[in-house]
A and B are shown apart, each in its own frame.
Chain A
Amino acid sequence: MNFTFTEEQLLIRDMAERFFRDEYDLDTRRKHQAMPGGFCPETWAQFAEMGWLALGIPEDLGGVGGGSVETAILMEAMGGGLAVEPFLSTVVLGGGLLIRGGSDEQKGDLLPKLAAGELLLAFGYGEPQSRYDLNDVATTAKADGDGYVLDGGKCVVLHAGTADKIAVTARTSGDARDRAGITVFLIDADAPGVTVRDYPTVDGLRAGDVTLSGVKAGAEAVVGEVGNGLELTEAVIDRAAALIAVEAAGVMAATTQCTVDYLKERKQFGRPLGDFQALQHRMTEMYMETELTRWLGYMAVVRQDGDDRPPAARAAAQAKAKAGQAGRLIGQEAVQLHGGMGVTDEMFVSHLFKRLTMIDHVFGDAAHQVERLADMDVGNAAA
């Protein structure tokens, strides 16, 4: 048992932190957001050059290997830098689906392109009525000769507007909320019948609503097994939830740090605000909650590698719940402690706050996760 980083992992962390510190300030972020697609293609190419897109992909498929911890380390740094690039949608969700469920052909064809930065992916798993329930799938895929015809729609699909291919869950059999009968399809974003309405998100990223009308998909478009797509989806989303909990810890650390820095500078009553114990104690809470979220998050990330699903699901739910709860506290406190400046668009803190808030609303918010935990076997306590 060892719950800290290896030397190699520390190198990845240092490199990533340095990148976001030196090359990715708030102005850079604003420029990236204003670009078509809402991110910077050159920066994406840099990610590829640094090997970030190849993490978790086997070496014989153009990747650099590694487990989820390395990916989490990157995401923690991306959290601190408020990166807007489509790492989560392409690498974690799209890549995650392919690595866990893809056929040899799909992997061999797509993963090298993904690692090289030449393929952008998105994953539509949610629908307007589904809230956070992954089994609530109304989109249908009806058998049609050797293939399928898909009809329906997916909402808030992260980076759908720039994706080359979009994975979607669709019902090949069963009723609206059945666990069985769901299949994952990977379809071309420009296939006839696919429409993406692209929009910005409140926290500065991009997402889209995807409409599918009579979209033809061949059998080769199926990722994983027909009818068993829910297990694959759950595994990928739980892993993403664990990873985004660590990203959230990165956002929280930046939020706490900028608050501490600001309160050391800002003077009232003839002294820095940071001298006041009432404010100090609130910042200590922000610091502690960040630490707790980070290490719970890494625990959950470690649990995602492998096939022991109940502990992985439980750990992901715990980490995501914590990220939502601590994120709300830290974000609100940071804005309050910044005073009037905290509610301006000018300050970094307001953007951190929005990101923390919206992280709670992907992959199931804190209330959803706590409810999930209560429904799971309560017989296995911590660890």
Chain B
Amino acid sequence: MELVLNPEESAFQEEVRDFLRTSIPPEIKRKVDLGLKLVKEDYVVWQKILHERGWIAPSWPKEYGGPGWSPVQRYLYEEELAAASSPRLITFGLKMLGPVLIEFGTDDQKARYLPRILSSEDWWCQGFSEPGSGSDLASLSTRAVRDGDHYVVNGQKTWTTLAQYADWIFCLVRTSTEGKKQAGISFLLIDMKTPGVTVRPIKTLDGGQEINDVFLEDVRVPVDNLVGKENDGWTVAKFLLGHERFGIAGVARSKKQMERVRDIASKEMKRGRPLIEDARFREEMAQVEIDLTALEMTELHLLSEQAAGRKPGPESSILKLKGTQVQQAITELLLEAVGNRAAVFDPAILDDDWPGPGNDGPAIPEHAATVAGHYFNWRKASIYGGSNEIQRNIIAKAILGL
């Protein structure tokens, strides 16, 4: 066991740190640091910078445009991305569809889609959940009926993150009602510009607009857009959900957020002293850092096992579950830190370009403006990607044998 970086790893860390910190556009960094709304252009501009450097898809094999990094290097890169105030890289193409196409796609599909994912020319979104199919995903009822060289798709997808920006959606659709519900599902790529695709925004509790309903009405999809075999989409979906669990704990971002807690606690006052000097608050921070470090070490262990050639198992459910718990605990600390001004709401904060405090809106310090919204918004983390209750079911079955 060695927790110190070797010289090559240190050099790599240095190289990544230098590049990321000098390359990130200041206005994007400001938005990330303050938790302000990012728009499509922010993501795309930054992802193109990373793509140009060859670092946009750390987990992809080299032959498909990945940098060929070791698990440790990828871990260090994630750290540095968060530390440099990078926006979250949009995962739908890079961490979901990309690996799926590499595993299941035809040569044509790989050639057609992968380069455009790397270059951020195509924005992908994920069409899994439906109004009647949440945790019980396999019960989905969006139908795809074969008609010559096309499928005709009818149904509704929901909770579709950033569908308003998307060029494409990858969908689970029902191509058969025979046998087990898992057996009749197929994995289909749909161009969002196809007639019959309608996106309707869903406003979230923080006032934000990042999720959507996607309606599919007689949408004609070429059969070439089927990934894997017809009725074998569940296998593809399981691969997608089980792949690339590293990073899912969000450790690097949580560390960065703890810095923000500390920063805010240095600015907020309590009894004439900065909050950071309050022993009780520091104990709360210490508690979250205990849990965060425990999570990081668990992830590092799994990552080292992977580096040693052992395949990650269902243990990674821990990362998702405990990772989101830590993230949510940090949103609570942030909320606590801003005190009574947590309640102040400046509607302009939801706009693409918030001018900052004190213009026409209420006087709220910059560091406090997004904290409450973030707290409410982040309740999603323990719900998406297989709710934490589903993760417990997985652990009970696959690890404890219950």
Contact = CB atoms under 8 A, between A and B. Distances in A.
- Interface hub of A260, A299, A302, A371 (most chain B Cβ within 10 A): A299
Contacts of B292: 381-382
B283 A371 contact: yes
Contacts of B293: 296, 299, 318, 382-383
18 contacts: A1-B300, A2-B2, A3-B3, A260-B402, A274-B402, A277-B396, A281-B396, A284-B396, A284-B399, A291-B318, A293-B294, A298-B301, A299-B297, A322-B294, A375-B282, A378-B262, A378-B276, A382-B289
B259 A381 contact: yes
Contact of A287 (B285, B303, B304, B395): B395
Contact of B282 (A4, A288, A374): A374
Interface string B298-335: 10110111011000000100100110000000000000
Contact of A378 (B285, B322, B392, B401): B285
Given A375-B279, A383-B3, 12 more contacts: A1-B6, A1-B304, A2-B304, A3-B301, A4-B305, A5-B1, A284-B400, A295-B300, A296-B294, A321-B287, A322-B291, A322-B294
Contacts of B401: 260, 264
Given A1-B4, A292-B294, A382-B296, A283 B400 contact: yes
B279 A374 contact: yes
Contacts of A292: 291, 294-295, 297-298, 318, 322
Contacts of A1: 2-6, 9, 72, 300, 304
- For the residues of B in contact with A, the DSSP-based class is helix
A375 B304 CA distance: 33
A373 interface: yes
B400 A4 contact: no
B290 interface: yes
A59 interface: no
A379 interface: yes
A1 B300 CA distance: 9
Contacts of B396: 277, 280-281, 283-284
Contacts of B291: 292, 322
B322 to A, nearest CB: 6
Contacts of A263: 402
Given A281-B396, A295-B294, A295-B298, A373 B1 contact: no
B296 A383 contact: yes
A293 B293 CA distance: 10
A370 B289 CA distance: 10
B290 A296 contact: yes
Contacts of A288: 318, 321-322, 395
A275 interface: yes
Nearest to A282: B392
A202 to B, nearest CB: 26
B181 to A, nearest CB: 20
Contacts of B157: none
A302 B289 CA distance: 18
A378 B307 CA distance: 32
Interface string B1-25: 1111110010000000000000000
Given A280-B396, A288-B322, A378 B294 contact: no
B395 A2 contact: no
A216 interface: no
A275 B251 CA distance: 33
Contacts of B301: 3-4, 295, 298
Contacts of A284: 392, 395-396, 399-400
A69 interface: yes
A158 to B, nearest CB: 25
B389 interface: yes
A239 interface: no
Interface in A363-383: 370-371, 373-375, 378-379, 381-383
